[in-house]
Amino acid sequence: MQQKSQPILQIENQTKRFGNVLANENISMQVCGGEIHCLLGENGAGKSTLAECLYGFYRPDSGKYTFKGKEFKPRSPRDAIDAGIGMVHQHFVLSPPMTVIENIVVGTESDGIWLDLKSASEKVAALCSDYDLDLELDTIVGQLPVGRQQWVEILKALYVGVDLLILDEPTASLTPQEVEKLFEILQKMKTKGLSVILITHKLHEVMEISDRVTVLRKARLVGTVNTIDVTRETLVNMMVGRTVSFQVAKKIKTPGRAILELRDLHVLKDNGLDGVKDFSLSICENEIVGLAGVAGNGQSELFDAIVGVRQLQNGQILLSGEDISNDSPDMVIKKGIASIPPDRMTQGLLMGFPIKENLILGRHRVAPFKKGIELKYRVIEQFAEQAIEHYEVVATSGEQIAKTLSGGNLQKVILARELSHDPRFVVASSPTRGLDVGAMEYVHKRLVELRDSGIGILLISEDLDEVFNVSDRIAVIYNGEAMGILNREEATREGVGLLMAGFRGGGG
Amino acid sequence: MLSEFLNAAFLVALVAATFRMVTPILFTAIGLLVVNRGGIVDLSTEGVMLMGALAGFTAAYYSGSLWLGVLVGALTGGAISLLTAFLVVILKMNQSVSGIAINMLAAGLSFYLFRLIYGSSGETVPTVSTFDPLPIPLLSEIPVIGKVFFSQYALTYLAFIMVVLVWAFLYKTKSGLVIRCTGDNPRTVDTKGISVNLVHTALLVFGGMMYGIGGAFLPLVATGLYVPGISAGRGWIAIAIVIFGNFRPFRVMFGALLFGFLDALQLQIQGIGIDFPYQLLIALPYVLTIIVLIIGGKSSGKPLHLGIPYHRE
Ligand SMILES: Nc1ncnc2c1ncn2[C@@H]1O[C@H](COP(=O)(O)OP(=O)(O)OP(=O)(O)O)[C@@H](O)[C@H]1O
Ligand SMILES: [Mg+2]
């Protein structure tokens, strides 16, 4: 589908630096009216920066925007909103204890000083029915699943009226069904003549929904292409400058002895309800077990229980036969369990600390990073340098503060920390969320390498592609219960999908 | 003995004392509530009250106008909170540390200024004639109740009116929603192009003015004279009361009333000379404060971003 319409937005020669980091260099692109335009690029390529500049959140160092035929110089998000540009940020910007409608209305301009939630609700309800969104406007936002929270973000933009909506990695934490729904919304926006800039790492999404694609690499523009003219491979090549294999090469390995055994685990959620019930699973040496499931079915509680931050109500966790149930998180790490948490910002990293210190968290009390009461910064810095190189973290040095890293690079820092310290067992929750294809390939390869070296891995993921790609066996969790376990060879997507939806007897 | 407790005069005096005790704390607590809802921890209340008391008293003493005293108390409070704003909003200093620094500054400065202005001789204690109660026409003529509730000081009414106004502001206006959202996640308003720094500064100045009025109430209504350290921990108690009130205006008001009542009770019991160790009675409100803080540690209404400086990046 080629767009012949006038460009609604024109970016000319945008450059943006953060200190001595060059995030955007001389980037020019155009977005047409009524098109869905994907922005593609590796982690740290500068996609979010480009978007945030356009939204008036950052001030570009140089460059010029023309929006709807007029020169556009946003000095704050207010200017962007007034001009008709909306944005859904990479990390949601919501106030969890407030209701949906309050989150939508806050800070919008209208007459008078009084808050008129009633007429706002009517307006939003109309939008909801326009876009087929089934949303209770009085619900507390924090109680909504992630997919719904995203609707709220989109409604925030639609409510003030946008001509161009920017979505920064909106699908990173959505279930396949939620992605489907999101794309329906975007298609509807398109038919209404709105333009969309969509940032994503998932190529099949790009192929499915976009009209055109602009690719960035290392802060520079590679080019803009029509989606119908390209293949996934071309895009990958444009992005990383080489080919990437989506399928990891895996040697056949016979699993060894059981390394981690979960026996009849019973774990509660924060609200006291059952999170995980009677859950049993064992993972062997030389084996990757993928745990598939729709988000919110007990995966995070299970993860917490294994790493020792959530109390077991019942059951046992054995590591090589040794009972580690209710060991402290510190002990769990010492005994060789590495973990990649689902939420990198709150569970994985200290955002205000430099990369080098983040890289030794949890290992800061053992040699070689510590001697006596002193941290060996020389060793730590060396280690950081290596880790940054191996994992291709886009950073100036180990001194860079975590919160100034791009989303995908944050994830790489966690991976580098957890996978470099010779673990005996790894529990990884969505380890490639937000990673670009090159980085994803690397992580998958690394996981398989670890498995080949004798380590057992539990891979908790909502991404079926990932689960099928690297697992030796596939387990499914639904509503806190184990729905069954299948060998990779006998598993089908349909079968696993059925189990994920709670139908037993699916599977092979 | 029991009959002494229950006679009408005792009750009237008890209620009157309760309101006298409540007023300064309520002003401060309700001001602090607004600041907290915007996401700022402000521990400077005690010091600001002290400065408000001194400035208010001095203005009233030299001008002869009590209302001018109240105004000056408010302005002084606002000015000191502007300093807090500079420290925590512009410099992004740790909010608790900044609050404690302001307290220490105020404690020393108020003592020094008092000496400077009034000398240290202590021969003639400077006094002002305090505000008279302002009975509300008609309502105050209702038997018993009228005398108990509707013959208070103008500032006392104002304090309770402020509770209603603050509630209406927070929950019924657009600016109120902006403030509540700022307290939970400042980015929600930043991404709408509203300056978080401006919101925080405005809240702090408002809060400071309220603490200043709360402080000025003490010499201008309760005592008629200024003594160093006149705030006597009320600023700290206001902090506890906001937590006790779970950051909700009316619950904060009830918390303040409860505290004021206990304080008044201990005064009245001392007054009628019952044989009971009065030190224990004096301690009672403070003990309550500690209990409140222990219980309130996990209060559900706490703004999620409370006390965390906001950086855009
Ligand atoms: N506030 C900041 N201070 C310093 N450097 C920054 C800041 N924000 C971004 N950067 C740097 O700018 C570069 C581009 O970051 P950006 O967030 O735009 O990447 P991205 O393309 O969105 O990557 P991802 O796919 O990982 O989200 C990165 O190297 C990042 O470290
Ligand atoms: Mg990004």
User: Is the Cβ of B304 closer than 8 Å to some Cβ of chain A?
Assistant: yes
Q: Is residue B304 part of a domain?
A: no
Strands A473-478 and A481-487: what pairing?
antiparallel
For residues A223 and A143, state if they share a domain.
Answer: yes
A6: which DSSP letter? P
Mean pLDDT of A286-311: 91
Q: Among A26-35, A110-119, B31-40, which is the least confidently predicted range?
A: A110-119
Q: Is residue A418 part of a domain?
A: no
Q: A24 vs chain B: nearest CA distance in angstroms?
A: 16
Asked whether the predicted pLDDT for residue B295 surpasses 90, the reply is no
Mean pLDDT of B101-120: 92
> Domain end: A206, A240, A274, which one?
A240
Structurally, how many domains does chain A consist of?
2
Taking CB atoms and an 8 Å cutoff, what residues of chain A touch B192?
Answer: 77-78, 81, 106-108
Higher pLDDT, A114 or B279: A114
Q: Is residue B309 part of a domain?
A: no
Q: Record the tokens describing residue A148, joined without a space.
A: 């719904």
CATH of the domain at B33: 1.10.3470
User: Is the Cβ of B298 closer than 8 Å to some Cβ of chain A?
Assistant: no
d(CA A456, CA A443): 15
CATH of the domain at A308: 3.40.50.300
User: Is the Cβ of B184 closer than 8 Å to some Cβ of chain A?
Assistant: yes
d(CA B262, CA B282): 9
Taking an 8 Å cut-off on Cβ atoms, the answer to whether B173 and A98 are in contact is: no
Mean pLDDT of A32-37: 95
* Residue B214 near residue B31 (C-beta atoms within 8 A): yes
User: Is the Cβ of A48 closer than 8 Å to some Cβ of chain B?
Assistant: no
Task: Give the model's pLDDT for residue B106.
Answer: 96
Element (H, E) at A243: none
* Residue A413 near residue A359 (C-beta atoms within 8 A): yes
For residues A167 and A225, state if they share a domain.
Answer: yes
Q: Record the tokens describing residue A275, joined without a space.
A: 């999170």
Q: Among A187-191, B91-95, B281-285, which is the least confidently predicted range?
A: B281-285
- Return the HEC string of A468-490: HHHCCEEEEEECCEEEEEEEHHH
d(CA A17, CA A468): 40
Query: Nearest ligand to the C-alpha of residue A410?
Result: 1
3-state secondary structure (DSSP) of residue A448: helix
For residues A130 and A86, state if they share a domain.
Answer: yes
pLDDT tens sequence across B24-44: 999 999 999 999 999 999 999
User: Is the Cβ of A373 closer than 8 Å to some Cβ of chain B?
Assistant: no
For residues A111 and A198, state if they share a domain.
Answer: yes
The rounded Cα A361 to chain-centroid distance in angstroms is 22
- Where do we find the tokens 């007023």? B23
- Return the HEC string of chain B: CHHHHHCHHHHHHHHHHHHHHHHHHHHHHHHHHHHHHCCCCCCCHHHHHHHHHHHHHHHHHHHCCHHHHHHHHHHHHHHHHHHHHHHHHHCCCCHHHHHHHHHHHHHHHHHHHHHHHHCCCCCCCCECCCCCCCCCCCHHHCCCHHHHHCCCCHHHHHHHHHHHHHHHHHHHEHHHHHHHHHHHCCHHHHCCCCCHHHHHHHHHHHHHHHHHHHHHHHHHHHHCECCCCCCCCHHHHHHHHHHHCCCCHHHHHHHHHHHHHHHHHHHHHHHCCCCCCHHHHHHHHHHHHHHHHHHHCCCCCCCCCCCCCCCCC
Taking an 8 Å cut-off on Cβ atoms, the answer to whether B188 and A113 are in contact is: no
Query: Nearest ligand to the C-alpha of residue A47?
Result: 1
Strands A7-18 and A21-32: what pairing?
antiparallel
d(CA A409, CA A441): 15
Q: Report which of A259, A302, A258 is spatially closest to residue A481, judged by C-alpha positions.
A: A302
CA dihedral B32, B34, B40, B45 (to 10 degrees): -10
Q: Is residue B43 part of a domain?
A: yes
pLDDT tens sequence across B234-257: 999 999 999 989 999 999 999 999
Taking an 8 Å cut-off on Cβ atoms, the answer to whether B188 and A106 are in contact is: yes
For residues A86 and A182, state if they share a domain.
Answer: yes
User: Is the Cβ of A382 closer than 8 Å to some Cβ of chain B?
Assistant: no
For residues A232 and A317, state if they share a domain.
Answer: no
In the reported structure, the alpha carbon of residue A166 is separated from the centroid of ligand 2 by a whole-number distance in angstroms of 12
Residues 6+ apart with CB under 8 A from B193: A56, A76, A77, A78, A79, A80, A81, A107
- Residue among B172, B190, B192 whose CB faces A114 most closely: B172
Q: Is residue A332 part of a domain?
A: yes
Q: Report which of B92, B75, B61 is spatially closest to residue B212, judged by C-alpha positions.
A: B75
Q: Record the tokens describing residue A280, joined without a space.
A: 């049993």
d(CA A306, CA A265): 10
What pTM, to 2 d.p., does this model score? 0.83
Q: Choose from A17, A106, A108, A119 for mutation: most chain B CBs within 10 A.
A: A106
Structurally, how many domains does chain B consist of?
1
Mean pLDDT of A40-59: 93
A130: which DSSP letter? H
For residues A168 and A222, state if they share a domain.
Answer: yes
ipTM, interface predicted TM-score of the complex: 0.89
In the reported structure, the alpha carbon of residue A48 is separated from the centroid of ligand 2 by a whole-number distance in angstroms of 4
> Domain end: A181, A208, A240, which one?
A240
Q: How many residues does chain A have?
A: 508
Sheet harboring A70-72: ordered strands across?
A21-32, A7-18, A62-67, A70-72
**Closest chain B residue by Cα to residue A55:** B191
Interface of B with A in 229-288 (CB under 8 A): none
The rounded Cα A365 to chain-centroid distance in angstroms is 30
Q: Report which of A135, A186, A132 is spatially closest to residue A157, judged by C-alpha positions.
A: A186
Asked whether the predicted pLDDT for residue B4 surpasses 90, the reply is no
Q: Report which of A281, A208, A176, A179 is spatially closest to residue A494, judged by C-alpha positions.
A: A176
Task: Find out whether the peptide bond into A145 is cis, omega within 30 degrees of 0.
Answer: no
Q: Is residue A274 part of a domain?
A: yes
Taking CB atoms and an 8 Å cutoff, what residues of chain A touch B168?
Answer: none
Residues 6+ apart with CB under 8 A from A13: A26, A27, A28, A62, A63, A64
Mean pLDDT estimate for chain A: 90
The rounded Cα B131 to chain-centroid distance in angstroms is 18
Ligand 1 pocket mutation pick from A14, A17, A18 by most atoms within 8 angstroms of CB: A18
Task: Give the model's pLDDT for residue A199.
Answer: 95
For residues A430 and A492, state if they share a domain.
Answer: yes
Q: A114 vs chain B: nearest CA distance in angstroms?
A: 4
d(CA B123, CA A397): 69
Residue range(s) defining the domain that contains residue A491? 258-336+423-500
Q: Is residue A103 part of a domain?
A: yes
Strands A274-284 and A258-268: what pairing?
antiparallel
For residues A236 and A262, state if they share a domain.
Answer: no
Q: Is residue A467 part of a domain?
A: yes
Task: Give the model's pLDDT for residue B3.
Answer: 58
Taking CB atoms and an 8 Å cutoff, what residues of chain B touch A89?
Answer: 187, 191
Residue range(s) defining the domain that contains residue B157? 2-299
Q: Is residue A47 part of a domain?
A: yes
Q: How many residues does chain B have?
A: 313
Mean pLDDT of B185-205: 96
CB atoms inside a 10 Å sphere around CB A109: 11
d(CA B53, CA B218): 7
User: Is the Cβ of B107 closer than 8 Å to some Cβ of chain A?
Assistant: no
Q: Among B3-7, B173-177, B307-311, which is the least confidently predicted range?
A: B3-7
Amino acid at A356: K
Q: B306 vs chain A: nearest CA distance in angstroms?
A: 13
Q: How confident is the model at residue A261 (pLDDT cuts 50, 70, 90)?
A: very high
d(CA A56, CA A64): 13
Task: Give the model's pLDDT for residue B165.
Answer: 98
Q: Is residue B307 part of a domain?
A: no
For residues A278 and A228, state if they share a domain.
Answer: no
Task: Give the model's pLDDT for residue A508.
Answer: 43
Q: Is residue B310 part of a domain?
A: no
Phi, psi (degrees; rounded to nearest 5) at A422: 50, 65
Q: Is residue A386 part of a domain?
A: no
Q: Is residue A280 part of a domain?
A: yes
Task: Give the model's pLDDT for residue B234.
Answer: 93
For residues A158 and A196, state if they share a domain.
Answer: yes
Mean pLDDT of A457-474: 92
Sheet harboring A258-268: ordered strands across?
A274-284, A258-268, A312-319, A322-323
B79 burial (CB, 10 Å; 0-12 / 13-18 / 19+) is middle
Q: How confident is the model at residue A147 (pLDDT cuts 50, 70, 90)?
A: confident
> Percent of chain B at pLDDT above 70?
95
> Domain end: A240, A275, A302, which one?
A240
A430: which DSSP letter? S
Give me Rg for the CA atoms of chain A: 24
pLDDT tens sequence across B39-71: 999 999 999 999 999 999 999 999 999 999 999
For residues A216 and A267, state if they share a domain.
Answer: no
- Residue among B181, B193, B313 whose CB faces A76 most closely: B193
Q: Is residue B312 part of a domain?
A: no
Q: Record the tokens describing residue A296, joined without a space.
A: 């919110």
Asked whether the predicted pLDDT for residue B123 surpasses 70, the reply is no
In the reported structure, the alpha carbon of residue A92 is separated from the centroid of ligand 1 by a whole-number distance in angstroms of 17
Element (H, E) at A102: helix A100-105
